Structure formats: structure tokens, C-alpha cells
Chain A
Amino acid sequence: MPNKKTIDEKTVKHVARLSRINLSKEEVSLYQRQLADILGYINKLNELDTKDTLPTSHPLGNLKNVFRKDTVKKSLSAEDVLKNAPARKDDFFKVPKIIE
């Protein structure tokens, strides 16, 4: 982690795009400042020597091999599946066309 690394506006815009969020010009500069602040604090982790440390992705280190049996359980009713849908066509969810 480079020390004193701050985040620039270009990166904020890129990350916003990855997150599917539009930012106004003012928001870009606000978040740039705030994120730089936070990252500046977070960089404290640089002080830590973690060369020989294994990562913890999970607090229950010893818990392994949790499975369910391959049995079919009742699915939701069509009504329950679709009742929250902002738009539907018959029993399909309806969304605007996809352009990459």
C-alpha cells in the first residue's frame, strides 16, 4: 500500500460507474475529499507487518464443510415471486433492453 495514497476524481468516477451510481460534479469532489480522508486514516494498516500472517475471511476459523442434502424443497408460489416486481409480463420479470 503506497503511503499517503489519496484517491483522485478520475478514480472516484470510475468506481461510481462500477457501482452503478451517477455522481454530480459536486458529489465527485465531495466524495473524493471524504474518501481521501478515510483512506488516509486506513493507511495506518501499512505499519503492520503481515508478511507471515494468514488472512481471516471469516470469524469462525474452524467451521468447515457445511452442506445440505440434495433434496428438493418447495419453491415460492408465482405470486410470491412476482408480487414485488416493478414490472412483469405474465410470469416473467420485465426489464428494459440491455445494451453493453
Chain B
Amino acid sequence: MKDYEIVIGLEAHVQLLTQSKVFCGCSTKFGLAPNSSTCPVCLGLPGALPVLNEKAFLHAIKTALALKCRIQDIIKFDRKNYYYPDLPKNFQISQYDKPLAYNGYLEIEHNNAKKKIRITRVHLEEDAGKLMHDPGKGLSYIDFNRTGIPLLEIVSEPDMRSPDEGSAYLQDLKSILQYLKVSDCNMEEGSLRCDANISVRPKGEGSLGVKAELKNMNSFKAVRDALSYEAERQVELLRKGESVVQETRLWNERKGITELMRTKEETHDYRYFPEPDLVPLTVDKKEIEKIKRSLPELPQAKKKRFTALYGLGKYDAGVLTRDMEISNFFEETIKLFDKPKKIANWLSGDIASILNERKTTIGETRFKPAHLAELLELIRAEEISGKIAKEILPEIFRLGISPKEIVRSKGLKQIKDAGELTSVIDDVLRENKKSIDDYKKGKKNALIFLVGQVMRKTKGRANPKIVNEILKKRLDDGG
């Protein structure tokens, strides 16, 4: 493997976040009853005509500008003609020789090195419907709800040199799209999809090897795994003195391999021509400048600011800024509790796992910055232990009520009163004579065990520092 260089280019398909479809007024909601969000336009019924959704267009322009692309002077749509049952008109309204935008780049940071990945083109098109197959009966079923959802295709140059770089690019692209609020980039629901071109060549070789196109990668992990597998497959072929064939391959997640879908000879003749039912579009220079100025602070810039302003490490800053909601949450919390590192730890630790578990985003939960600030303040004031704080966190998420209130109503406040603690300690010592002997024989672990017993008896509420002090004193005094 190390004698070869991997060359990767990615083609991302992003569903744009709009209320209605790109050429008609049907809803873009996910998961509706089959064919219930369709009309003559998106069903491609004879006589129906497309009219472009302004929001979808603006989303596309915004994204293109955030990716430092040039906007085409005159933007037009083309028809891509091919027969497939998920395509009701048997052509897709897309863009061919004059994509909406071109010549951009995205700067990724991988292994502590920055690298520009060039963007070849960005174009707007309509999504196709969904097919369900019943191989037993030899039938397929079509649902056209997805037909006509606005899709942005973002094509990179073959500038990535490892599966990890590919994954980093996709991750950064996803962050940018979310910052721009142009897509929810939900890979499971298919709102972010990715195809890859991959080839290998002996190190030092100038010209590119024969590439394969990979499809059907439905998660970041799948992208990485599929690229790694395919790179090895190609290197293996070359080692054996065979050659790579230009073809389209599908990632089989279950088997963990790529499989042949079609070879180059079968590729289509798409017969592109300008879509006569839509008129050309232009965005004047002033408008472009205005949109550029209105772009939000993007992840890269925010990351830089977070390290400089809050003294965070690159890693923490990277984790926090990957998701715009999290980064906003972080800054809101800082206004109320000025310990950036502590906030960062909670956000990238326990809070992240809760969000992961529930497959939700922080904005969709009832957990607010004030809650986190209050929780951290309770810990700082030694009102509760970090452990208790972790325990009540899911409840704050669920109920959206203040941590203080939970601590009060459940009686979780720390016990710091020496008298109260001494009586518990007495009980523990009575019940654990062996540990006292162990301690006296020099086993220091026995003390830790005894502290743990006190914590258990107080359901974690005892102040461990005070317990430790009292216990040590009692044991050393010969109790």
C-alpha cells in the first residue's frame, strides 16, 4: 500500500432545506404517506411546467459563495435525458455545461495540516423518486414524494489522498452547509449523499490511474470504509499485474466490499439540451457582494476565534465548531459561566453522548445554556458533585427544568455537615471491620473503599473531601 498513492474526488448531493419542492409547491417533508406530496408538476404529468423555487436558488448561491466559487454570469438549466422509473419525465432538470458556480475550494485540516480541496462545480437539480423492489414477485413500487426535492451537487477535484482526507472533507462540507442553514445534512434520511471517484497510482507517478466510481455510501464511516476497501482492491490488482477497469461500483455495507454495478461501455448518452420550460437566471455583482456579506461566520473562522478568544485547544475548538448549534450554545453558556474549558468538556462529553443516543440536535431539546451554566455553578459551589451532575443531566434534557430545582426537589444537595457525616461513617466502620484491619496493615486502598461505602449510603450526596478527612482521622486515631 505504501508504494501507492490514493487519489480521491468526491461528488456530494445535498438536499436543500426548503418548505416546497424545487419546481412546484409540494411539501418536502420526510416520511409522508406514499405519493401524497405530489402534483402534476413533480409527477411529470403531460402539460405541467416547472417554476423555480427562489429559496432553493438562493441557498445554492449562498453555498457556492461559501465554497469560494465563481457564480456563472448566465445560469441556465438543462435536461438530462435517460429512462428510469424513478424519473417521471424520463429526464432530470439539471445543469450541464454551465453549472451555477465553479472554481471554488474548501480548506480542510487533517493531521494538523491545512489543505485546499478544489471545488470543480456546484449545480442545482431535482431529486428523483424512490423505488422499492420486490424481487420475489419481479415487481417494483414507486413513490414520487422525493421527486423534485431541490438537490445541490457539489463536485470536488481529485485532491484527496486518503480515505481520512475524504472523510474530513465531507465532514467540513457538512459543517458549512449546516452553518449556512441550507441543508440538515441527514445522511440517514438521504439529505446528504456522496459518490466518490477513486484511483491509485505508484508514488511519484504524474498521471492519474484508471478510476472507479463508488456509490451507495450512506454514512461517514461507510465513505471511509468503502474508500479504504476500494484503494486496497485497486492496489492488489496492480500488484498482480492486472489493470483497473473504469466502472461504477456499489458499496455493500453488510459484506464490507465494493461490487460492480456497471462498466463504462454501458454509460448513458444523456442528450443534454437547454431546458426550454425555464428561463435563464442572472445574479448581478452587487447582489453577489450582498450575499457574501450576509454569510455567517463559517466553521474555520469560528474555530480560529475559539482558540484565540477562549484559550481552547485545537481539538476542543474543532469539536465545538463542527456543529453550529453547539458552538452557539457554547458561547451563550460562557456569558453566564466564564469557564470555557469546563463548558467545552461537558459539551463534547456527556452532552454529546445524550444527543447521540437520542439522535437529536441540541436545538431540538429542552436543554438550554442557562441550565448548563447553573449546573456548572452548582458543582463549583460544591452544592453537588460532578457525579450527581452527570446523573441529573438526562432529567434536565427531558423536563427542561432548572438543575437547582431538581437538586432541591430530590434532596440531592451535598452533605457537608460533619455531624451528619460522622454518623454515617460510624455505621460504615461498624459494618466493615475487615477494611479497618486492612488499612492498619498498610493497604491504602481500604480507605478508598470505605469512602465509597459512605458515598453509597448517602446516594452520592456526601462531600467526598470531608468524608475522606473524617475517615482518615478516625482510622489514624485508631477509632
| A63 nearest in chain B by CB position | B279
Q: Which of A20, A58, A60 has the most chain B CB within a 10 Å cutoff?
A: A58
Residue B57, interface by CB 8 Å: yes
B43: min CB distance to chain A, Å: 7
Residues of A within 8 A of B134 (CB): 97
The one of A60, A71, A96 in contact with B279, judged by C-beta atoms closer than 8 angstroms, is A60
- 1/0 per position for A62-99, CB-CB distance to B under 8 A? 01111111111111101001100000011111111110
Residues of B within 8 A of A75 (CB): 25-27, 36-39
Interface size class of A (residues with CB under 8 A): 20 to 34
Residue B394, interface by CB 8 Å: no
Residues of A within 8 A of B39 (CB): 73, 75-76
A20 to B276, CA, bound (A): 23
B36 touches A78 (CB 8 A): yes
- 1/0 per position for A2-40, CB-CB distance to B under 8 A? 000000000000000010100000000000000000000
Knowing A71-B25, A76-B39, say if A64 contacts B142 (CB, 8 Å): no
B53 touches A68 (CB 8 A): yes
The one of A18, A89, A98, A100 in contact with B271, judged by C-beta atoms closer than 8 angstroms, is A18
A97 touches B138 (CB 8 A): yes
| B261 nearest in chain A by CB position | A100
Residues of B within 8 A of A70 (CB): 18-20, 53-56
A92 touches B141 (CB 8 A): yes
Chain B contacts with A in 5-60, Cβ cutoff 8 A: 18-20, 24-27, 33-40, 43, 51-57
Residues of B within 8 A of A18 (CB): 269, 271
Residue B282, interface by CB 8 Å: yes
- 1/0 per position for B265-298, CB-CB distance to A under 8 A? 0100101011010111110000000000000000
B20 touches A91 (CB 8 A): no
Residue B301, interface by CB 8 Å: no
Residue A50, interface by CB 8 Å: no
A92 to B139, CA, bound (A): 12
Task: Please report the total number of B residues contacting A with Cβ < 8 Å.
Answer: 51
A97 touches B139 (CB 8 A): yes
| A89 nearest in chain B by CB position | B141
A89: min CB distance to chain B, Å: 6
Residues of B within 8 A of A89 (CB): 139, 141
B26 touches A91 (CB 8 A): no
| B132 nearest in chain A by CB position | A92
Residue B133, interface by CB 8 Å: yes
A91 touches B33 (CB 8 A): yes
B271 touches A95 (CB 8 A): no
A97 touches B140 (CB 8 A): yes
A76 to B24, CA, bound (A): 12
A87 to B105, CA, bound (A): 48
Residues of A within 8 A of B142 (CB): 92-95
B33 touches A72 (CB 8 A): no
| B55 nearest in chain A by CB position | A70
B247: min CB distance to chain A, Å: 13
Residue A53, interface by CB 8 Å: no
B277: min CB distance to chain A, Å: 10
Residues of A within 8 A of B54 (CB): 67-70
A47 to B160, CA, bound (A): 49
B57: min CB distance to chain A, Å: 7
A75 to B28, CA, bound (A): 11
A93: min CB distance to chain B, Å: 4
Residues of A within 8 A of B278 (CB): 66
- 1/0 per position for A47-60, CB-CB distance to B under 8 A? 00000000001101
A65 touches B19 (CB 8 A): no
The one of A67, A93, A96 in contact with B57, judged by C-beta atoms closer than 8 angstroms, is A67
20 contacts between A and B (CB under 8 A): A57-B273, A58-B274, A64-B279, A65-B282, A67-B52, A67-B54, A70-B19, A70-B20, A72-B26, A73-B25, A73-B26, A75-B36, A75-B38, A91-B35, A92-B35, A93-B142, A95-B141, A97-B135, A98-B131, A100-B266
A binding-site residues for B, Cβ under 8 Å: 18, 20, 57-58, 60, 63-76, 78, 81-82, 89-98, 100
